[in-house]
Amino acid sequence: MTTTKDHPVQEAHAAAPPAPGGSPRLSDRGLAVAFISPALLLLLGMSVFPLLWALYLSFTDYSATRDVPANFVGVENYTNILTSDQVHQRALTTLLYVVGAVTLQTVLGFAIAFLISRRTHGRGALTTMFLVPMMLSPVVVGLFWKFMLDAQFGVINSMLGSLGLGQVEWLTRQRTALISLIVVDTWQWTPFIMLIALAGLTAVPKYLYEAASIDRASEWFRFRHITLPMVWPLLLIAIMFRAIEAFRLFDLVYILTSGGPGVSTETLSFHVYKVAFLGFNTGTASAYGILMVLVVIVLAQFYLRYLNKLKEG
């Protein structure tokens, strides 16, 4: 019965022009669902669900170390965080760090890319060499620099000493610790900006420069009116990307300064860690985390929308 019923249908399907011989078992739609849903399920289970749980916990006074069921406390956690001077100070530290590091990286990265793009020989080798720091784990980078910045036998102080300059306690003085952090992050991520700026610079069509030199445009004019406008969109993507990453930064602080001395290098990420894993105020930490996620989502939206615009334009 069924076979006789199925047969004509299948034949009709086989004769249909868009997909002759197309599988009767799996339609395109079914295939798409079968291929996409496993990946989405993993994301839902490991990213979305945990965040929703954190959202729930953020309205409670739950603590991961106490065996007491969570009490609903409303938005108390949120108001506490938003009005806390401690958090304001961490936000300021984070802002200083993000702005300082990203600015330095952009200037240096673009400068290096510009210099490399003007070389005709050995561009590939040069680029590869400059990229090394970026590929290293933050752990390795943090340890490298902790050793080099060591006040007693660090190589940086040793070099300063041979230049006749005084010793600096890089990681244990309030003011220099944040600067050290910015320097190390800049060392690691300048190659990132450089790489993307270089991609932009090499994509500038040669004929534009040729036309400009026929017009005897000055170097500055060429840079200002040809190079920069052509590279800027890509550069902006790199900057936004770095800003998000810098905002999330945790590992480098953990290795290099542990937030110290005092709280001078305690970024928001590091403070969340302290609240969650040293203070075990899980509810408060969750609210804190949700607020950070909101900031990241806003930043990421800017980034993605811009990216989208760029791709379509």
Contact residue for another protein among 16, 19, 92, 99 (CB under 8 A): 19
Of 72-80, 86-94, 223-231, 251-259, which part binds another protein (CB under 8 A)?
A: 251-259
CA-CA distances (angstroms) from residue 65 to 58, 69, 214, 274?
16, 11, 73, 14
Work out the end-to-end distance of the chain between its first and last CA atoms, rounded to an integer number of angstroms.
Answer: 57
Interface of this chain with another protein, residues 258 to 287, rule: CB under 8 A: 269-270, 272-273, 276-277, 282, 285-286
Contact residue for another protein among 91, 96, 143, 263 (CB under 8 A): 143
Contact residue for another protein among 72, 147, 223, 232 (CB under 8 A): 147
Nearer to another protein, 4 or 152 (CB): 152
Query: Which uninterrupted H or E stretch holds 2?
Result: helix 2-15
Q: Are 127 and 198 in contact (CB under 8 A)?
A: yes
| Burial label, 194 (beta-carbon count in 10 A; 0-12, 13-18, 19+) | buried
Nearer to another protein, 28 or 99 (CB): 28
Q: Smallest distance from the beta carbon of 27 to another protein, in angstroms?
A: 9
Q: Is 282 left (phi over 0), alpha (psi -120 to 50) or beta?
A: alpha
Rounded Cα distance, 197 and 291, in Å? 32
Rounded Cα distance, 229 and 236, in Å? 11
DSSP one-letter code for 166: P
107 forms part of the interface with another protein (CB under 8 A): no
Contact residue for another protein among 238, 239, 265, 266 (CB under 8 A): 238
| Burial label, 12 (beta-carbon count in 10 A; 0-12, 13-18, 19+) | exposed
Q: Smallest distance from the beta carbon of 8 to another protein, in angstroms?
A: 19
112 forms part of the interface with another protein (CB under 8 A): yes
Nearer to another protein, 33 or 99 (CB): 33
Q: Smallest distance from the beta carbon of 132 to another protein, in angstroms?
A: 6
Q: Smallest distance from the beta carbon of 103 to another protein, in angstroms?
A: 17
DSSP one-letter code for 150: -
Nearer to another protein, 92 or 304 (CB): 304
244 forms part of the interface with another protein (CB under 8 A): yes
Of 86-94, 173-181, 223-231, 245-253, which part binds another protein (CB under 8 A)?
A: 245-253
Interface of this chain with another protein, residues 114 to 133, rule: CB under 8 A: 115-116, 118-119, 126, 128-133
Of 76-84, 91-99, 153-161, 223-231, which part binds another protein (CB under 8 A)?
A: 153-161
Interface of this chain with another protein, residues 171 to 210, rule: CB under 8 A: 187, 190-192, 195-196, 199, 203
Q: Is the dihedral of CA 103, 109, 112, 117 positive or negative?
A: negative
Q: Quick count: other Cβ atoms within 10 Å of Cβ 23? A: 11
Contact residue for another protein among 96, 108, 168, 243 (CB under 8 A): 108
DSSP one-letter code for 277: I
Interface of this chain with another protein, residues 34 to 93, rule: CB under 8 A: 35-36, 38-40, 42-43, 45-51, 53-54, 57, 64
* The amino acid at 212: A
| Burial label, 157 (beta-carbon count in 10 A; 0-12, 13-18, 19+) | buried
Rounded Cα distance, 15 and 21, in Å? 8
Nearer to another protein, 1 or 38 (CB): 38
